[in-house]
Structure 1
Amino acid sequence: MTEVLVVGAGPAGLAAALAARARGAAVTLLDAADELGGQYWRHLPPQRPAARERALHHGWARFERMRRELEADPGCEVLTSAQVWAIEPADDDGRVGADGRLIDGGDRAVAGAAARAALVVHVLVGPVDGADRVARSIRPDALVLATGAHDRTLPFPGWDLPGVFTAGAAQALAKGERVAVGERVVVAGAGPFLLPVAASLAATGARVVGVHEANRPGRLAAGWLPRPWALIGAVGKAGELAGYAWNHVRHRIPYRTGSAVVAAHGTDRVEAVTIASLDRDWRPIAGTERRVEADAVCVSHGFTPRLELPIAAGCAITSDRFVVVDAGQGTSVAGVYAAGEITGIGGVDAALAEGAVAGHVAAGGSPTDAEISREMRARRTTTDFAGRIEASHGIRSGWTAWLDDDTLVCRCEEVPYGRLRATGDATCSTGLRSLKLTTRAGLGICQGRICGRTVEHLLGGDGGFADGVSTDRRPIAAPVRLAELAGASAPNRPEGHLRKETP
């Protein structure tokens, strides 16, 4: 029986697990969170249920159906609070290359699998802050990576003040804790994600005083209006858009294009923000600045895919930093598949379609099989949708004009823009590794997850670095205690058939 490991239990991962089970594969589904659903279906824990939880979620009934089916299936082992901290090649005989521990004999034939993944996935199961996490090393026949993405937020003066949130964090607090981040909230940045964030904030009782999209109407039209027939398959999005529009009308939320929060002000927390009109390249237009009172600001300038694990697995990455996949969601590495936001930012429908295709093919199927013809059609439609999002809402280069020398770029290491630029100029280095060491940017506790892309842009522009290094390359993908690493020398328990158990 083919054994498929799915990393990530958001929409793409759930769809992949279900599709692989439909093909008869044994599945292990794991996620670092303590509940299934990922960032999209983030919800209250069972200990604190809500009477109308579906009110803050699109497709909630579908999620509940998927979750019930997987949790009740004896052929699917579901592991939550399970953190993948490393992926490494396995020797030909199935042993882990780093320490020689036997994972699998490596000589069994796998019916229907085109090529077995020659990788070992190292997992720690248990609370992140716990001292007794259970170590597991899994060598699956096929690996599906559905690790998703997180907000990308461009720095601006005052963005380090308490009360400045990423839009994703604000929505997570609204959905998962029913907490409003403030009483008067400004939402700003770029992309369709600003609309559901404003809706979630309004549902928790916050007053959203404005939503500010950085791109101007001309660029939005140029991205969304060409070839309207290509959007027929995404007709459901029109209903969502109408719902968000009604939310703006009902709560009297202004929606402004061609504008951005270019500074936040306050002593101990945000008290006001400066909003300015932008030109087509996102440069602030002099004389348009206005100050707006607010006690919170939620900012998102798109998303950054979580590429640590695909890079560790050896997957090829595109020039715009997404995982390269073929028609069956296969990566450049045999037996490894990718789905969801790590292949392109296309939204939940794209993630569901790609996940279903990836799981089906990982379990020995083909993208031409009739069972997934609907998902293949949806995949083509949503790929076009993702391209439109980038064309309409992608970041423009002029945003650096709203920085001043004192603006922190790396908040962990407290590296301001002026020092970052001066150090980069003084060293004349063309390698990112040396620039990180000399500037300290990206070396803090988040390991560049928040500032990494920004640091790369400010130091190297769009030309990349001579050493080929990127801030997405993290051989240790998550924090690990030295005691946990020391315990890795203990004999590993046999994996055998994928089982359901509570570590």
Structure 2
Amino acid sequence: MNHVLVVGAGPAGLAAACAARGRGARVTLMDASDYLGGQYWRHLPEERPSSNETALHHGWSTFTAMRERLESDAGCEIATGAQVWAIDQVRPADDRQTGAPASVHVLVGPADGSARRGLTVRPDAIIFATGAHDRTLPFPGWDLPGVFTAGAAQAFAKGERLAVGERVVVGGAGPFLLPVAASLAQTGATVLGVYEASRFAGLVRGWLPRPWQLLGASKKAVELLGYAGNHVRHRIPYRLGHAVVAAHGTDRVEAVTVARVDVNWSPIPGTERRIPTDAVCVGHGFTPRLELPIATGCAIGAGHFVTVDDRQQSSIAAVYAAGEITGIGGVDAALAEGRIAGHCAAGGDLRDRELREAVRARRTFTGFAARIDAAHGIRPGWTDWITDETIVCRCEEVPYGRLRTTGRATCSSGLRSLKLSTRAGLGICQGRVCGRTVEELLGGSLDRVGGRLIDGVSIDRRPIAVPLRIGELAGFDAERQVRAPWNRPQSDEPSATSPE
């Protein structure tokens, strides 16, 4: 029986695990969170459940059906609080016929705990469904308390039923701003406005070419009408061609400046308006989490996404990818890709009847990724709203001026040398927040050889994917296998992942 390891328990990962079990594979599903659902279905903990969880979630019944199926299935082991911190690439050249990863190194337990359990897993196939995190462009004052990413505001609303402020401004670009505003309103905040940097003409050019291709996604129109109703009901202004270009305050945010921007997102002089507020939520799209696919040797395409074929297989045999790491296409695309990846990783064929619906859905919804980028993608004029004093790397407090002057003085042409000379990207987040920005400020070019990123050039290359203690690293035995079901006290009884 094939052993399929699924990393990530959001929509794509859950769908992949269900599909792999449907083909009879033994499945290990792991996620760093304490709960299944990922960022999309982030919810209250089981000890204090909501009586109406569907209020903040689309497709809640889809999630609960998949969760119940997997939790009740003895052939699926679920590991929550499991951090994959490193992956060895495939074993010697002859093993590339199977593509079986040499080892997947995991720590299980609370991320801030001191007694995490280390283990190594050697599956027959891996499915990466690691998702994405917020992309936020810097602006003066974005390091003030009270400035949140759009995703953080959504997480507080869904996972804690907390609003990040009483009077909140939402800004950035992309359709994600709409559910963020809805979540804030449902948790009691007054949303002072949603400011979308893209202009009306750009949205039309991005969304409306070949409109017949959108016919299969009619439920998205229903969701859009729901968000529009929320704006009307809560009297939330929605402004196209506007951006949050500065935040003001001493100990925390007290106001923001919003300005009209041109088609390239350059602020138009004389259009600035100051808005008193106690919180601002900003999001300019998403950055895929690529550390583990890169560590495994997967090819990364020009758009910073994992390159996959029709089976969702990467450039490494037996390594698959699904969801936002292959393109930001939304939950429906993630579910379809997850089903295809799980089915094929477990030995199924793309032509199997079980995949007909998923293949049709993928064809419909993966087109959203290209439309979102065309309509809401970041434009180069945003750099006009930052100054030399604007912090670029918040962890290490590196201002834009230092980045520019150091780059010129040292003739830096690559990310590694600039990181070492300025410390940008060397903080606790390891460049997850500032990395893409630093790359773009360097000129937006990445050196590539054979479709793979050169070591040290991309911010996504992290041999150690998550923070861990020196003691954990020193005491880790790469040959040790878990000998009991996940998240349970250890015993002498071997489990499905033990070598016996």
The superposition leaves residues 373-416 of structure 1 with CA deviations (integer Å, 9 ceiling, x where unpaired) of: 10001111111111100000000000000001110000111100
Contact 1:354 1:379 in 2 (8 A): yes
Partner of 2:278: 295
**1:315 aligned to which of 298, 302, 307:** 298
More off after superposition, 19-28 vs 416-425: 416-425
Code of the residue aligned with 1:134 in structure 2: it is R
Paired with 1:11 and 1:180, the residues of 2 have a C-alpha distance of 25
Paired with 2:447 and 2:255, the residues of 1 have a C-alpha distance of 38
The alpha carbon displacement at 1:462 in A equals 2.2
Matching of residue 214 in structure 1 with residue 197 in structure 2: yes
Paired with 2:204 and 2:256, the residues of 1 have a C-alpha distance of 28
Code of the residue aligned with 1:484 in structure 2: it is E
Matching of residue 37 in structure 1 with residue 37 in structure 2: yes
Partner of 2:169: 186
Contact 1:339 1:358 in 2 (8 A): yes
**2:134 aligned to which of 151, 160, 173:** 151
User: TM (normalized to structure 1)?
Assistant: 0.94
Contact 1:119 1:313 in 2 (8 A): no
Paired with 1:18 and 1:83, the residues of 2 have a C-alpha distance of 21
Code of the residue aligned with 1:475 in structure 2: it is P
Code of the residue aligned with 1:212 in structure 2: it is Y
Paired with 1:86 and 1:13, the residues of 2 have a C-alpha distance of 19
Amino-acid identity (%): 69
The alpha carbon displacement at 1:327 in A equals 0.1
Code of the residue aligned with 2:258 in structure 1: it is I
The alpha carbon displacement at 1:91 in A equals 3.6
| Residue correspondence of structure 1 range 229-378 to structure 2 within 5 A | 229-378=212-361
SS at 2:42 equivalent? coil
Code of the residue aligned with 1:64 in structure 2: it is T
122 and 374 in structure 1: CA distance in 2 versus 1, 3 angstrom threshold: same
**1:446 aligned to which of 429, 444, 452:** 429
Partner of 2:59: 59
The superposition leaves residues 217-261 of structure 1 with CA deviations (integer Å, 9 ceiling, x where unpaired) of: 000000111111000111110110000000000000000000000
- Segments of 5+ residues of structure 1 without an aligned counterpart are 95-105, 107-113
SS at 1:173 equivalent? helix
Partner of 2:464: 476
- Segments of 5+ residues of structure 2 without an aligned counterpart are 449-453, 490-500
Partner of 2:407: 424
Contact 2:120 2:478 in 1 (8 A): no
Contact 2:105 2:478 in 1 (8 A): no
119 and 235 in structure 1: CA distance in 2 versus 1, 3 angstrom threshold: farther
SS at 2:195 equivalent? strand
Contact 1:214 1:258 in 2 (8 A): yes
The alpha carbon displacement at 1:493 in A equals 3.1
Paired with 2:81 and 2:282, the residues of 1 have a C-alpha distance of 28
Partner of 1:398: 381
Contact 1:77 1:501 in 2 (8 A): no
Partner of 1:98: none
The superposition leaves residues 188-236 of structure 1 with CA deviations (integer Å, 9 ceiling, x where unpaired) of: 0000000000000000000000001000000000011111100011111
The alpha carbon displacement at 1:119 in A equals 3.0
Partner of 1:47: 47
Contact 1:74 1:499 in 2 (8 A): no
SS at 1:271 equivalent? strand
More off after superposition, 53-62 vs 248-257: 53-62
**1:485 aligned to which of 455, 473, 481:** 473
Partner of 1:16: 16
Partner of 1:462: 444
Paired with 1:48 and 1:308, the residues of 2 have a C-alpha distance of 34
Paired with 1:465 and 1:314, the residues of 2 have a C-alpha distance of 16
The superposition leaves residues 457-495 of structure 1 with CA deviations (integer Å, 9 ceiling, x where unpaired) of: 112x12225866100000000011111112223751366
The alpha carbon displacement at 1:48 in A equals 1.3
Contact 2:169 2:279 in 1 (8 A): yes
33 and 494 in structure 1: CA distance in 2 versus 1, 3 angstrom threshold: closer
Code of the residue aligned with 2:374 in structure 1: it is A
Contact 2:119 2:478 in 1 (8 A): no
Partner of 2:488: 502
Paired with 2:91 and 2:367, the residues of 1 have a C-alpha distance of 40
Paired with 1:264 and 1:276, the residues of 2 have a C-alpha distance of 12
Contact 1:75 1:499 in 2 (8 A): no
User: Cα RMSD (Å) of the superposition?
Assistant: 1.7
The superposition leaves residues 100-157 of structure 1 with CA deviations (integer Å, 9 ceiling, x where unpaired) of: xxxxxx9xxxxxxx83523311000000011111111001000000000000000000
Paired with 1:359 and 1:423, the residues of 2 have a C-alpha distance of 47
Paired with 1:292 and 1:354, the residues of 2 have a C-alpha distance of 42
The alpha carbon displacement at 1:289 in A equals 0.2
Code of the residue aligned with 1:205 in structure 2: it is G
Code of the residue aligned with 2:464 in structure 1: it is I
